[in-house]
Chains A and B, each alone.
Chain A
Amino acid sequence: MNPVLQLETVTRIHGTGPTEVRALHEVGFAAYAGELVAVMGPSGSGKSTLLTLAGGLDTPTSGAVHVEGVDLAALGQKGRAAMRRTSIGYVFQDFNLIPALTAAENVSLPLELDGQGTRGARKAARFALEEVGIGELGARFPDEMSGGQQQRVAIARAIVGERRLILADEPTGALDSETGEDILRLIRARCDAGAAGVLVTHEARHAAWADRVVFLRDGVIVDESGSDRPDALLEQAR
């Protein structure tokens, strides 16, 4: 089985000369369908860089990033943007919702930008909102919702249209511990339903929702814990 996301000896260097910062150094990383992988590490360890590269928001200095077998570098900027609208769902710490749009409009926006008809996009948005448990809040604006509800909208936006790769950057950051747990449950459920997920966090309690936990230090993967893939697959097959 091919991974949904694969980083091959990826290095990312910011700046040049004396101000050069090596954010990632020859990192190999993969996330398979049905799997949630957590990336942990202190500030500056490169975990957010890994996620922006995986999401095609940034390109590596060397090495390659593949999403569903497609080399993101070969796509060009327009192609990467299209990939982000159709295959990759991003969940940010601060929700990143558009305040002037309702919850349903926020969720359907990526589909509409991708050229889907409004009716189909709205229907998909309604399904996604129901999946995250707030089907009745579609007409609300972000400032009419609690933090937990807003993050549910953001997750609905990240999973709408059957996207297969979910990238989450500290998605529980501003939420209390129980609401945060609900959000992790949703991401977990989407991975159990077949998506590949990458969760960046500095909290072990959140990382523990993942099948595997990768530890980054100074741009290098130093450690990994959790079930390794063959065992996990055997267990699923049983």
Chain B
Amino acid sequence: MSVRNALLALLEQGPRYGYQLRAEFEHRTGGTWPLNVGQVYTTLSRLERDGLVAGQGADGEGHVMYAVTDAGRDEVVSWFTSPVPRTQPPREELAIKLALAVSVPGVDVGTVIQQQRSATMAALQDYTRLKRRPTGQGSEELAWGLVLDSLVFTAEAEIRWLDHCEARLRRAAYDRDAAIERPVEARAPLVEPIEDEVPR
């Protein structure tokens, strides 16, 4: 799971306490995926149970500090050196919605697509507005810039897919209309019949 690995990677840079980890995670990802601190502590206690981090007691101000163990370090290396698995496609509400829209009678799929495209385009414009802001050159700005680019490319892909769906639907509607207009006997057979075998 990404939060677990991300926290481990942050701890590899030195011991930290829960609030610090949350702040650093959010800073580097531009606050795109807010973490609540409860989730951070639950994750830390699981990491401790699995022997990947070790609690180091409280610092002078009473913060409970955690440090990565050797096993935790190995886990970070293995995370960075292996691809994120894509075996199970994440549940995609939009794809599910369109799949049902085309198969449930009475839904105006064209409008569903158009509305979604406008909304996704508006989101894409918002992300791009963030890109227009001047940013520093540090690695943390770069980290946030890459997260932003990921959001931009994902939104772009969604719009391309919606365009593609629209084109496919139009094509399907055209084929359907053409089939209705064409008289049945004039329709070309799928396979050219062999002369002798044609029943008279």
Contact = CB atoms under 8 A, between A and B. Distances in A.
Please indicate whether A and B come from the same complex rather than being unrelated chains: yes
Contacts of B118: 223-225
A208 B124 contact: yes
A223 B117 contact: yes
Contacts of A213: 121, 125
A223 B132 CA distance: 25
A133 interface: no
Contacts of B132: 185, 188, 209
B155 interface: yes
B152 interface: yes
A226 B129 CA distance: 12
B114 A209 contact: no
Contacts of B120: 204
Interface string A172-210: 000000000100010010000000000000011101111
Interface string B155-166: 110011001000
Contacts of A99: none
Contact of B117 (A203, A211, A215): A215
Give the dominant DSSP class at B's interface. Answer: helix
Give the dominant DSSP class at A's interface. Answer: mixed
A1 interface: no
Give the size category of A's interface with B: 10 to 19
B174 interface: no
B122 interface: yes
Interface in B110-138: 114, 117-122, 124-125, 127-128, 131-132
Nearest to A207: B121
A215 B110 CA distance: 14
A234 interface: no
Interface in A76-129: none
Contacts of A204: 120-121, 124, 155-156, 159-160
A16 B124 CA distance: 41
Given A204-B155, A205-B128, A213-B121, 7 more contacts: A42-B167, A204-B156, A204-B160, A205-B152, A208-B128, A210-B125, A223-B118
Interface of A: 42, 181, 185, 188, 203-205, 207-211, 213, 215, 222-226
6 contacts: A203-B156, A204-B156, A205-B153, A207-B121, A211-B125, A225-B122
